[in-house]
Amino acid sequence: MNNLKRLHPSALLISFLTAVKNAIIPIIAIFFISSDDSHLRFAWIAILALTIISSVLTWLTFYYRLQEGQLYIQKGIFVKKKKYIQKQRVQSIDITAGVLQRLFGMVSVEIETAGGGPEAEARLTAVTKAEAEAIRKELLERRSELKTEDEHGEIEQDQEEQSSTYVPEKTWELGTERLIAMALTSSGVGLIFSAVGALFGQFYQFIPNNWLDNTFGFVTQVGFSMVLAFIGIAFLALLVSWALSSVFAIIKYGGFKIEHFGKELVISRGLLERRQLTLQLNRITSVRLVQNILRQPLGFVSVYVESAGGGTKDEQASTLLIPLVKKSDLHTVLAEILPDYSFEKQYTSLPQRALWRLLVRYTAFPIIITGVAIYFFSPFGYLGILLIALCAMLAWLTYKAGGSGSYQDFMYIRYRTFSLIEVMAPRWKVQAAETSESFLQSWQGLATYKVTVQSSISGKAFFLSDLSREEGDRMLQWYSYAEKKDEL
């Protein structure tokens, strides 16, 4: 593979349609505005022509070559850029088969490197699947003559040759039942509901006034109040949002599968857009267990991992390792996929004095708002008492959830936002650990514990508030134990 290669010609169409998708809103605006203006219509045509020319020139000037454990890329229309990506710097490779790529039998390859920032270090928009596999194997597979970092960050010699057949050692699949359960309990319904509301707000002005008058007039005639009518509309919009969110989740995570190859995990998912992400086990820096408000009573949990490379923007630079699994089955599943993180945890709970602090923090503002509402909008203001009760319940649940502990070389903390979150991290992947005390915390003998681990973009921090000062000191001592031992 010494000769430079171009991307498949389908990259032209993919590049063009991607540019159109990114500029779809201004294009639609210009199209409607230009209905009676020939100059604006000409501007619309000019933008379209420039997009096509740019796509063609980008394809003509993009070359790549895979050779001797490195990927060489040359690109640039006016400014030529040349880049070498060494296999030692590669953290993960994401292989995606989008709708357009699948029409041409192509895939897209994104390569993440150490310190590469939020964007992928390299992206090949249209190559054959065989070419993508060749790139992945050349840049990620460890060969016997290369030294690699083991899971403790030390140097070891890899004595095993990768099998030419590349058969997975273990495989875990989401399955249909778990996929449907994950879709129905997805937290994306809130985002969809907001989008539906925003969309209705945009098109509300185009609804004829006489149609609105007739509709709401009929509603009031049959005995419903306007308030009940709006509640019914909001409930219907919520059901539609829930259905859409479930469909999107099924499309995104359909066919989810994890394959274990030696020191690598290959994650595949997607019905329309088939994605394949390769993660190196020794690059995983922490594991995060998340139970949203719908999954907690059902006993379901999702598993995320932080890694020095990998992750997606919509997952906030984290990688969703296991979309959904029963909490009772989690220990068994982790023992197969991430055995180092499969251990029993004994949490030290938050002290009782932390409960009063949480109650004040969560209910002070609602109490003030409710008092004002009762004064100016009685009797409707008394509904604020329900809000106070909900906030007090959230404070109690936050108090009961909070906890920390350590097991050999691993630390773990548990806390609650609206979701219940547990974080586990090994000592050698922790970048920094610290405790802090505000004035009130110091007075009550409480502290906030913060731990930062490596991630694909920068260090990612996790917090546990209002643990006892003694427990905070113990967690700091756990992290500094290795250094103290060396000093002795």
Instruction: For residue 162, tell me if it sits in a domain.
Output: no
Contact 397, 414 (CB under 8 A): no
- CA-based nearest residue to 454, from 317, 308, 295: 308
My answer on whether 133 and 237 are in the same domain is no
Q: At what angle do helices 189-203 and 226-253 cross, to 10 degrees?
A: 120
Contact 69, 87 (CB under 8 A): yes
Residue with the larger pLDDT of the pair 348 and 224: 348
My answer on whether 414 and 454 are in the same domain is yes
Instruction: Return the number of other C-beta atoms located less than 10 Å from residue 93's C-beta.
Output: 26
pLDDT above 60 (res 124): yes
My answer on whether 63 and 47 are in the same domain is yes
Whole-number pLDDT of residue 34: 54
Contact 20, 136 (CB under 8 A): no
My answer on whether 227 and 371 are in the same domain is no
Instruction: Return the number of other C-beta atoms located less than 10 Å from residue 164's C-beta.
Output: 7
Average pLDDT over residues 444-466: 88
- The β-bridge partners of 450 are 434, 463
My answer on whether 62 and 191 are in the same domain is no
Average pLDDT over residues 449-457: 83
- CA-based nearest residue to 108, from 94, 91, 87: 94
Instruction: For residue 160, tell me if it sits in a domain.
Output: no
Instruction: For residue 147, tell me if it sits in a domain.
Output: no
Domain of 276 in residue numbering reads as 257-350+402-479
Residue with the larger pLDDT of the pair 90 and 320: 320
Residues with Cβ within 8 Å of residue 97, at least 6 apart in sequence: 106, 107, 108, 129, 270, 273, 274, 275, 276
pLDDT band at 309 (very low <50, low <70, confident <90, very high): low
My answer on whether 340 and 440 are in the same domain is yes
My answer on whether 264 and 343 are in the same domain is yes
Whole-number pLDDT of residue 454: 81
Whole-angstrom Cα distance, residue 259 to residue 172? 7
Looking at 238, 253, 268, the residue that finishes a domain is: 253
Average pLDDT over residues 84-110: 85
Sheet containing 170-173: order of strands: 122-128, 106-113, 90-97, 274-280, 264-269, 257-261, 170-173
pLDDT band at 210 (very low <50, low <70, confident <90, very high): low
Instruction: For residue 161, tell me if it sits in a domain.
Output: no
Instruction: For residue 327, tell me if it sits in a domain.
Output: yes
Looking at 140, 165, 199, the residue that finishes a domain is: 140
pTM: 0.77
Whole-angstrom Cα distance, residue 3 to residue 348? 61
Average pLDDT over residues 453-476: 88
Residue with the larger pLDDT of the pair 163 and 180: 180
Instruction: For residue 158, tell me if it sits in a domain.
Output: no
Residues of the chain with pLDDT > 70, as a percent, come to 77
My answer on whether 53 and 125 are in the same domain is yes
Whole-number pLDDT of residue 295: 93
Instruction: For residue 205, tell me if it sits in a domain.
Output: yes
pLDDT band at 462 (very low <50, low <70, confident <90, very high): very high
Residue with the larger pLDDT of the pair 106 and 197: 106
Whole-number pLDDT of residue 419: 93
Whole-number pLDDT of residue 216: 58
Whole-number pLDDT of residue 148: 44
pLDDT band at 413 (very low <50, low <70, confident <90, very high): very high
| Average pLDDT of the residues of the chain | 81
My answer on whether 43 and 121 are in the same domain is yes
Top-confidence range, 27-31, 122-126, 285-289, 428-432: 285-289
My answer on whether 361 and 384 are in the same domain is yes
Whole-number pLDDT of residue 213: 60
Whole-number pLDDT of residue 487: 47
My answer on whether 120 and 262 are in the same domain is no
Looking at 369, 398, 427, the residue that finishes a domain is: 398
My answer on whether 268 and 381 are in the same domain is no
Which run of H or of E encompasses 15?
helix 10-22
Whole-number pLDDT of residue 33: 57
CATH code assigned at 70: 2.30.29
Whole-number pLDDT of residue 137: 83
The total number of structural domains that make up the chain:
4
pLDDT band at 451 (very low <50, low <70, confident <90, very high): very high
